[in-house]
Amino acid sequence: MVNQFAEEDNLIRAASFLPSKEELKKQQENAVSAADPLSALLYSDDRDTILYGIFGDLPDYSNPDMEALWDEVLEADPEVIFEYCFRKGIDLFQDDGRPVAPWRDIAVMLKAIDKGILQLA
């Protein structure tokens, strides 16, 4: 997959919130020494790091409005979502051309802001 939306320089790059190689190594070491290393490895991802980095918050899917937005994003063509996020100022793509793991969550947060469901300070 190629990031066809990458011509803008003033975008927030979601991938810039991914942990560095050193941070990843530390996370892996912490997971190994955890009480339940398998669970620590299985449930460690960069979703929260990226979402907190961009929005300072996570989507609350217990809210029916947020859940409806998730369904809307899930049913949409990914290319439409990529372009939507790009137009809202967020580049979802990593250097290898793949979108960051929480790209749908990012779209949900942007749509929640657009619809007035979520207000960020």
Say if residue 29 is exposed, middle or buried (CB neighbours under 10 Å; 0-12, 13-18, 19+): exposed
Q: Which one-letter DSSP state was computed for residue 19?
A: P
Spell out the residues 6+ positions from residue 108 whose beta carbon is closer than 8 angstroms to its own. Answer: 59, 66, 69, 70, 73
Coil vs helix vs strand at 8: coil
pLDDT at 20: 67
pTM of whole model > 0.75? no
pLDDT at 32: 58
Longest CA–CA span in the chain (Å) reads 45
Concatenated DSSP letters of 53-68: HHHSS---TTSHHHHH
Reading the chain (121 residues) residue by residue, the pLDDT tens digits are 444 444 456 788 888 887 767 776 776 666 556 666 554 544 456 788 889 889 998 899 999 999 999 999 999 999 999 999 999 999 999 888 999 989 999 999 999 999 999 887 6
- Distance separating alpha carbons of residues 5 and 26, to the nearest angstrom: 33
